[in-house]
Structure 1
């Protein structure tokens, strides 16, 4: 019996935590049952509509959160008001930067997002008391660093076609991280304008490359946002993964 199945049948673990992906793949997996019970008493679940700001770049953070579902986009703003999407976060990523007075980025809900938030002071105390939690957060930080380096390669060396395919591959693999089939379907979490911003391309170039991938049978676009990938290997080849 796997850990997730055990949790579902463990009456000591709070009901909201038993089937939560953050409990099994996220930072909460490092917490004991007693810690989960204590954290659950102070946790707040909330749904955030697309386009709503979750964290301001210079905002003093008084809470952190696990992303339960949806996609969060991270942006940096320049002094003249120009901004750049610098990353995406998915369930069950941890949202926030412990032991910093501010986040250094703006986090907006790219889609409808469900989060489970906790007081900053409680999480920082748990980090000090629980090496496993600190280890989990370090793992996520290093994972984000690796992804940022991979994205630097995408932006700096790949063609426009490879960039768009890489973006679709990124979304597909995060929508279903335990992908056990050759196909996957998802709704694009970003507008064409945001995709262009994220990839350093024009909106017209993004649209042309999506059309080319569709005509070549690499993707199927059901409507403006719904995308089907019939063969992940073909998409990976087009993305030069």
Structure 2
């Protein structure tokens, strides 16, 4: 499925990820130019932004929501390469084709740029090119960790790592401010989605949640809410 609704003009001054996005180091005049190139787009859960193997026509900053990066094996099976969170950068600048697909796991908002326009802007602004390099290297490290998670870790390690990552990247967006390290936050994924992301069954995911709750590592006020109660124990579990 494609994106829903018309793209909207983008205002960098009002951007909620302004200080964390790839454009964070640009000054006001540079942002004004870049803002004219960008458009805000809404994606509904299940809709695709980028298709694997297609011509690289756009790049994007994630503003809100959670997306997955995936590829397909020769026999057609999906392989999830990682998750994209608010402030993450998507797409292949200076490239001709996209090496992975991008699909929204939750309702999401992205700031999109035509790849050719973004490439021209980046070439004229070395600070943005440097930030691109930093993000590319960080994404490479994240991909390596993700492949280790899927390929070598036990089911319990996989879930513990995902919970720690979600808490780090999305916990501040939960039901209450993260003034309390044990604050409750809302899981952006259903248990079936968690199972799909980690390559597990929903029964295994549910059993592991119950075990972690019973061992005092987490609290589960509801099926979509979680609080990490014993971070050292959860980190040990993830190691």
| TM-score bracket relative to the smaller structure | 0.7 to 0.9
TM-score (norm 1): 0.84
Tell me, yes or no, if the aligned pair for 2:12 and 2:32 is still in contact at 8 Å.
no
Q: Hey, what's the Cα distance between the residues in 2 that align with 1:32 and 1:147?
A: 28
Show the counterpart of 1:47.
42
Tell me, yes or no, if the aligned pair for 1:44 and 1:118 is still in contact at 8 Å.
yes
- Alpha-carbon shift at residue 15 of structure 1 (Å): 9.1
Tell me, yes or no, if the aligned pair for 2:61 and 2:90 is still in contact at 8 Å.
yes
- Alpha-carbon shift at residue 117 of structure 1 (Å): 1.2
Is the alpha carbon distance of 1:82 and 1:15 closer, same or farther for their aligned partners in structure 2, counting shifts above 3 Å?
A: closer
Tell me, yes or no, if the aligned pair for 2:81 and 2:147 is still in contact at 8 Å.
no
Tell me, yes or no, if the aligned pair for 1:219 and 1:230 is still in contact at 8 Å.
yes
204-213 or 219-228: which moved more?
219-228
Structure 2 residue ranges without an equivalent (≥5): 1-8
- Alpha-carbon shift at residue 231 of structure 1 (Å): 4.1
Map 1:79-228; keep pairs closer than 5 Å: 79-176=74-171, 181-228=180-227
35-44 or 89-98: which moved more?
35-44
Within the candidate set 41, 53, 63, 2:58 is matched to 63
Q: Hey, what's the Cα distance between the residues in 2 that align with 1:177 and 1:224?
A: 19
- Alpha-carbon shift at residue 228 of structure 1 (Å): 2.2
- Alpha-carbon shift at residue 130 of structure 1 (Å): 1.4
Map 1:11-50; keep pairs closer than 5 Å: 16-50=11-45
SS in 1 for 2:24: helix
163-172 or 33-42: which moved more?
33-42
TM-score (norm 2): 0.84
Q: What is the RMSD computed on CA atoms of the aligned residues?
A: 2.4
Tell me, yes or no, if the aligned pair for 1:55 and 1:103 is still in contact at 8 Å.
yes
Q: Hey, what's the Cα distance between the residues in 2 that align with 1:220 and 1:77?
A: 36
- Alpha-carbon shift at residue 59 of structure 1 (Å): 2.2
Is the alpha carbon distance of 1:39 and 1:80 closer, same or farther for their aligned partners in structure 2, counting shifts above 3 Å?
A: same
SS in 2 for 1:23: coil
Tell me, yes or no, if the aligned pair for 1:22 and 1:93 is still in contact at 8 Å.
no
101-110 or 145-154: which moved more?
145-154
- Alpha-carbon shift at residue 52 of structure 1 (Å): 0.8
